[in-house]
Structure 1
């Protein structure tokens, strides 16, 4: 309990003091309690008190009053933090109102603006979904001005997921066959993003809470983009996204193969493993995600009653999986 209300170090110092046979000399207390400053921390929290002996000694507060004192201090700290949060929320509202007012004064009738500065576009692209309250939608084509890197990934933040924001993205299937693209998709999916894929997308686009959208005006979107805050326009783009989402294939899923196709795919995975390819390389070769490959491997290891991949390979060899199916 004291560890939760204070810190593990303070709780340990109190335990040592409380279990000591009688008070301990004040001068020796820090050393015996394990760290410099232990006495000061215990006294400040009311977990110990000094008895006016000659020389003075340190005694532990009884357990019940000690817990009550620590609880009172924690309540005080939480109240202070709550006050900070209330002030911060109030000031954030004021800042938002001021920004909205300034935006209206700058252009009271403008519901769309064209961005041509690459830094402005990149900044808005990175932050448009950070304050989402309900949902954030993305269309991501495989078109970039610079080589794609893993740092290009923009997975949802843990705070956004914790707030219950739903993140949905549609990627072009080229991502799955590209080593870096596959890593980007995997990292975004692991962060909580719902992902589907289509063979081709017409443009890059991001939509947040039906309130704003960022639409690329060039293939890569880095040199020109349209920022929309018109409710009518944003709603139309949301409707378009939903149509694409309905037709897109969920990540990791493929049309149900026939028995023969399933057998060939399983044999292909086993054969590539036998050649020494890693899961990621197998995935790229077969147009699957690494996660799907690992799941398929687990499935046929179970089917072959193999505890290791080496054992699975040996059993697959025994069953003739590596023979040419056309022979």
Structure 2
């Protein structure tokens, strides 16, 4: 049966079935699709080609496998991310091709409707997608950045970032800023003393970015147009998780917004009193929770020596000669603040 022989809606249904199999299994190739759906390898290749053109599948890659070969393995891209890449990229580079863009959007929308029907009982097709390798994550972030048209939010805990990562990010970020994309970046206070980060912030702010710092931050993530977010998997050496489910993305962006309101504008000069006070308030809360010095230092991305210097100043502030006395005074102080009453 030729692809032209499919009845109305049948092609979309086959494409949705192939996409669903790729999503659930982590990948699919032409021979697998042909065998499982009872179609020829040539027809299966055409289906994969169509899905790839809609950014719903991307090549996993592999040595010795030619592009578009039946054995070339494809992995699924989240539907919302594919929609953003397709429409955003076409709007940016092919604004004159409005008819083509509308047809492409209708194609994705129609396929998504069929896909949602197929997955009503099998789970949410827009759920988090774990991407195991950093190379693929970086490629997807680059694609999402190219399609971004309104806003990007970045949360970067852990102090200063490696110079090589900042060098890779600066051209991408300046390109977004040049297109009028709003950019907000959160770092921890410790990043203020990092020279590569200082240089990156100076350049980004000079092109319109806003950068603030806090003592403590949520896990690392980046969100584009409040529609897709990439989250670092804490404890994992590589990869990330892509989230497109609207409620989850809105929640992450709301967490960012709350943190942003408490942030202090980034300054590369010696940290001011507001920053030092923010660090010490965080340490007070962590001491009240019984955290060890080394745990606090890691959480705030500061050295153990700096952490203990702050703790010594806190003990003087509470007029405590021992850690036991300080712990008792701190707990009273934290409890009084929680109740909204002044501590003696």
When normalised by structure 2's length, the TM-score is 0.42
Larger radius of gyration: 1
When normalised by structure 1's length, the TM-score is 0.44
